[in-house]
Amino acid sequence: MQTVHVDLAHAPYDILIGAGLLADPQAILQHLTQANAVIVTNTTVAALYLAPLQASLVAAGVSVLPVILPDGEQYKNWTTLNSILDALLEHRCERKTTLIALGGGVIGDMTGFAAAIYQRGVPFIQIPTTLLAQVDSSVGGKTAINHPLGKNMIGAFYQPRLVLADLATLHTLPAREFAAGLAEVIKYGLIDDAVFFAWLEQNIAALLRRDVEALAYAVERSCSIKARIVASDEREQGVRAFLNLGHTFGHAIEAGLGYGQWLHGEAVAAGMLLAARASKLLGNLGEQDVQRTEALLQAAGLPVVAPALGFDRWMALMAQDKKVERGHIRFVLLRHIGEAYIATLPEQHLREILL
């Protein structure tokens, strides 16, 4: 087991990474403030992992309420959030009741947001079961739901007490979702660590066959990079925005096609290549680095051609981005592989890269 410490001044916490952590409730028990917990999960994950987790907690004397949601990004909305809150109220959950998110990014984001706003905040533990959630969404305290006018528009910064990344759960992940998680792994190389990017180029095959040592290294590196960035800028006033490489384009793809058509990581993959191309047009990233980016995304099984939304629609969708300031869209771009920066893009460049 490896531990990555997220060194936030007021809410520091650990990410535990290893195969088989779910079967051992000790880490969770240490963080419960009262002998009861609510496990929020979805129908797919419940069938695989709810029973063993629930049983291990119950055996340790914890009273457990499972809340099982429908599976999919299209349910990351008010209605589903309310169904969590209704369950908490109907079962008289208290301020010291811990919410445990068991699932992917959608479950983590919604459970975290429910924990942030139920009685103005209750304790919260993340057990991410997808690669995307283990390397990205479960770390850093961003919680949210979608709004018809924009992704993740309603939410809170709210930190978990503990993140438990059980690598064994990745073996049941469908190939398409696994690849979507790799998009965020590749992102860390692009924005922060050229050596890790090169390691990914060498080890992409091992990752795709879910070699547990390769997974452990990739998850640990990803969490370490994210933890360092988040600790230096919890509320996204500065460098944390680099984590959004490809996301302004990606969110427009997701919203433009309708949430749930492209997976988040797929949209981010196509968005990162757009950002790489835009960086090249601005005279930063070289053509060879654009090609390396495209090649690694393709090798990971990710889409590299963004859908043709039409220029005006692209611009309208991106204008909803949370990084917009005074009407200007601020893009995360690349100086070279391993170093990001933020800038606006001239319309001519946007027209050149967008369909």
**Positions in the binding site for a second copy (CB under 8 A):** 10, 34, 78, 82, 85-86, 89-90, 92, 94-96, 113, 116-121, 142-144, 147, 149-150, 152-157, 235, 319-320, 322-326
Integer Cα distance of 70 and 66 in angstroms: 13
DSSP 71: P
Closest CA to 332 of 319, 345, 350, 349: 345
Q: Among residues 60 and 89, whose Cβ is nearest to a second copy? A: 89
Least Cβ distance, residue 112 to a second copy (angstroms):
11
Out of 161, 247, 292, 322, the active site residue is 247
Annotation says 264 is catalytic: yes
Integer Cα distance of 159 and 146 in angstroms: 19
Q: Which residues contact 183 (CB under 8 A, 6 or more apart)?
A: 132, 246, 265, 266, 268, 269, 272, 297, 300, 302
Q: Among residues 228 and 323, whose Cβ is nearest to a second copy? A: 323
Integer Cα distance of 113 and 27 in angstroms: 22
Annotation says 247 is catalytic: yes
Integer Cα distance of 295 and 288 in angstroms: 10
Integer Cα distance of 135 and 40 in angstroms: 20
Least Cβ distance, residue 8 to a second copy (angstroms):
12
Q: Is 322 annotated as a binding residue?
A: no
Least Cβ distance, residue 149 to a second copy (angstroms):
4
Out of 161, 251, 277, 280, the active site residue is 251
The separation between the first and the last C-alpha atoms of the chain, rounded to the nearest angstrom, is 45
In a 3-state reduction of DSSP, which class is residue 266? helix
Annotation says 234 is catalytic: no
Out of 244, 254, 280, 322, the active site residue is 244
Q: Among residues 155 and 338, whose Cβ is nearest to a second copy? A: 155
Annotation says 336 is catalytic: no
Annotation says 120 is catalytic: yes
Least Cβ distance, residue 10 to a second copy (angstroms):
8
Q: Is 328 annotated as a binding residue?
A: no
Annotation says 236 is catalytic: yes
Q: Among residues 38 and 215, whose Cβ is nearest to a second copy? A: 38
Q: Which residues contact 26 (CB under 8 A, 6 or more apart)?
A: none
Kindly report the backbone phi and psi dihedral angles of residue 41, in degrees, each rounded to the nearest multiple of 5, phi listed first: -150, -175
- Catalytic positions, please? 120, 142, 184, 226, 236, 240, 244, 247, 251, 264
Annotated binding site for Zn(2+): 184, 247, 264
